[in-house]
Amino acid sequence: MSTFYVTTPIYYPNSEPHAGNAYTTIAADVLARYHRLKGSEVCFLTGVDEHAANVYNAAEAEGLSPQAYCDKIAPTFVKLWERLNISHDIFFRTTSDLHKRGAQKFLNVLYDNGDVYKGKYEGYYCLSCEEFFSEKELTDEKICPTHKLPLQWLEEENYFFRLSKYQDRLLAHIDENPDFVYPAARRNELLNFLKSGLQDVSISRASLSWGIPFPFDPEHIIYIWIEALSNYITALGYETESEQYQTFWPADVHIMGKDITRFHALLWPAMLMAANLPLPKHIVGHGWLTKDGEALSKTRGIFIDMDGDIATYGVDAFRYYLLREFSFGNDGDYRPARLHARYNADLANDLGNLLNRVLGLVNKNFDGTPEPTTPGEFDNEIKQMAQATVDKLDEHIKAFAFDTALETIWEFVRRINRYIQQTEVWTLAKPETKSRMGTILYNSLEALRFISVLISPFIPETAEKIQKQIGLSEFDTVAEWGRLPVGLTVSRGEPIFPRVDTKKQKQPQPKATAKPKQKQEPKTTELVSFADFQKLDLRVARVLAAEPVEDADRLLKLQVDLGTEKRQVVAGIAEHYTPEVLIGKQVIVVANLEPATIRGIESQGMILAGSGDSVVLASLEEDMPLGTQVR
């Protein structure tokens, strides 16, 4: 049986977990769930890095011992992971005896192998990074490049690790293994850094008491990063070389933010080389989540309202948004309006409506899952696309491209929506076509089962709901076409993504003195003459390109083809449609509207849409040649 070992960083429990920690952990969860689905024996490790100076300080500020403080904060991580449906196998604490003994053994091995020596260190130190910075990395203000906080000058007698000795081996390893560090940009950064030369690192602290004592000099404690990185083996039972350790080491994937990739891709592998242990296979350093373009910061009150958004949209929508919206290696700006748009467009419309529609048709026309007796047009294509989707998904997951992985699944979701449309299955209830209807609905249900398997690593709760609704009592994890049994009782279909009206929720309560606002009736405007109506030039157009408008959550900038010319139109539909859903769609454009400039962008026309509580684009019942007049 193949094995798969994935880890997140162990987070500092100096405060409760935040959305940045959630982002990494959700991504690791997808990998763990995906590999379980494929039949691997998986170990998924996460935990907390307790011996940090920032933990010590936070404890002191609350008048607690560091241990008591950790005992209070560590469970808040576990609680969040439960809330986010994280399927970790080990939640590891570095104050555990297993870790303490393992870290001390590891240090003994480094010492015995001759890579630890005593020396004097002085330099600028960041308490939040737990890292020394050299003069050349700093500006005159001596501010931490990551945390933007003043650095402390530290001087002490320390033990050092001969990191410089491993420079050439590290360079060769990263050079020869293009897959070792993801994404490529991060790998290049590391290669450049390596080429500029590695210095030995101090690995002990004499001035601190909160930590694990050096095994051969109890006056010192082990430098937090050395101790923390070793958690990836100590948690498995390195100390006793347990069966679990032998099964899972080396790790398949260490996943983390770009802030700490260097520790994982240089220091950690060098330590493992020094201990003659095998290296992890992949180091994945993802981008940074921001809010309104700013770094998340507790002190500055910049945070992502996870609880609020999960309460409104559900945990799966939150997971989906993080994984689908951002390219994993790049930074991503968290915007509630985009979460709302993804919820409506991808989850409620594309997937939720598909499920409801299919269940509705099955319930109305059949007694349970119909038999697929009458093959016809598109059936083979659907089946082949299902298989192709599995293969593409695998490629994307191997490249840690969660966004394209989900997009690939959604192409299949949209194809099934189109299958229903193209076959006009709802018109086939007559006796002579009923068996074809049954086949199309069987295929649609099987496609939904298939989709539920593929989405289960990303949005596990939804995957289960879908299988329950199509009548499966036990979750079927196999992505092979045709497994759905005939004759299952399908449910009536509860919406899996019920409509969310954020306007209602976010509207401030009217003040007591304010006049109650009259509910606005839809305006029945005054009559216009036929001649006036004829002045409007409405045309069929196709959307060629669509993109969000910077700093305008509601707007999309579209390029549309009117047959004879191309136009740019700005439309206020970003909360209801994602750009990729629009591309290729036919729409109706008011072609002779005066151009207007919206947020600095010229809009040459207007797209028609039904506009009430939600917004739905107007189109003709069937595609027509571009430029056709609509009257």
> Which residues of the chain form contacts with ligand ME8 (CB under 6 A)?
9-12, 20-21, 23-24, 49, 228-229, 231, 256-257, 259-260, 288-289, 296
Rounded least distance, CB 26 to ligand ME8, Å: 11
The token pair that represents 373 in the structure block = 């007796």
Q: Determine phi and psi for 246, rounding to 5 degrees.
A: -70, -30
Rounded least distance, CB 328 to ligand ME8, Å: 10
Residue type, 485: P
Give the pairing of strands 3-11 and 253-257. parallel
Cα–Cα dist 365/358, whole Å: 11
Rounded least distance, CB 160 to ligand ME8, Å: 20
Which residue, 33 or 264, is less far from ligand ME8 as judged by CB?
264
Rounded least distance, CB 395 to ligand ME8, Å: 24
3-state SS record for 311-330: HHHCHHHHHHHHHHHCCCCC
Which residue, 59 or 591, is less far from ligand ME8 as judged by CB?
59
Whether residue 405 contacts residue 397, with contact meaning beta carbons closer than 8 Å, is answered with yes
Whether residue 451 contacts residue 351, with contact meaning beta carbons closer than 8 Å, is answered with yes
Which residue, 290 or 502, is less far from ligand ME8 as judged by CB?
290
Q: Determine phi and psi for 262, rounding to 5 degrees.
A: -60, -40
Which residue, 124 or 225, is less far from ligand ME8 as judged by CB?
225
Give the pairing of strands 181-182 and 289-291. unpaired
User: DSSP of 429-498, one letter per residue?
Assistant: -SGGGHHHHHHHHHHHHHHHHHHHHHHTTT-HHHHHHHHHHTT-SS------TT-PPTTPPPP----SS-
Rounded least distance, CB 80 to ligand ME8, Å: 13
Rounded least distance, CB 109 to ligand ME8, Å: 18
- Measured CA angle at 389 (ends 387, 394), to 5 deg: 105
The token pair that represents 237 in the structure block = 């039972």
Which residue, 267 or 589, is less far from ligand ME8 as judged by CB?
267
Which residue, 24 or 204, is less far from ligand ME8 as judged by CB?
24
Q: Determine phi and psi for 566, rounding to 5 degrees.
A: -110, 145
Which residue, 290 or 374, is less far from ligand ME8 as judged by CB?
290
Rounded least distance, CB 47 to ligand ME8, Å: 9
* Sign for the pseudo-dihedral over CA of 572, 575, 578, 582: negative
Which residue, 221 or 289, is less far from ligand ME8 as judged by CB?
289
Residue 354 Cα distances to 214, 388, 441, angstroms:
60, 21, 11
DSSP 379: H
Rounded least distance, CB 9 to ligand ME8, Å: 4
Rounded least distance, CB 376 to ligand ME8, Å: 48
Cα–Cα dist 532/338, whole Å: 39
The token pair that represents 619 in the structure block = 């189109």
Rounded least distance, CB 25 to ligand ME8, Å: 8
Which residue, 326 or 450, is less far from ligand ME8 as judged by CB?
326
Which residue, 264 or 436, is less far from ligand ME8 as judged by CB?
264
Buried b / exposed e along 251-282 (16+ C-beta atoms within 10 A): bbbbbbbbbbbbbbbbbbbbbbbbbebebbeb
For residue 373, the cross-strand partners are: none
Rounded least distance, CB 73 to ligand ME8, Å: 11
Rounded least distance, CB 178 to ligand ME8, Å: 22
Cα–Cα dist 12/305, whole Å: 20
Which residue, 6 or 229, is less far from ligand ME8 as judged by CB?
229
Rounded least distance, CB 369 to ligand ME8, Å: 43
Which residue, 45 or 453, is less far from ligand ME8 as judged by CB?
45
Rounded least distance, CB 258 to ligand ME8, Å: 7
Rounded least distance, CB 99 to ligand ME8, Å: 11
Which residue, 302 or 606, is less far from ligand ME8 as judged by CB?
302
* Sign for the pseudo-dihedral over CA of 464, 468, 473, 478: negative
**Burial zone of 208 (CB within 10 Å; 0-12 exposed, 13-18 middle, 19+ buried):** middle
- Residue whose Cβ sits closest to ligand ME8: 20
Cα–Cα dist 552/548, whole Å: 8
Region of 619 please: left (phi>0), alpha (psi -120 to 50) or beta: beta
Which residue, 322 or 382, is less far from ligand ME8 as judged by CB?
322
Which residue, 277 or 601, is less far from ligand ME8 as judged by CB?
277
Q: Which of 288, 266, 287 is nearest to 185 (CA)?
A: 287
The token pair that represents 276 in the structure block = 């003659």
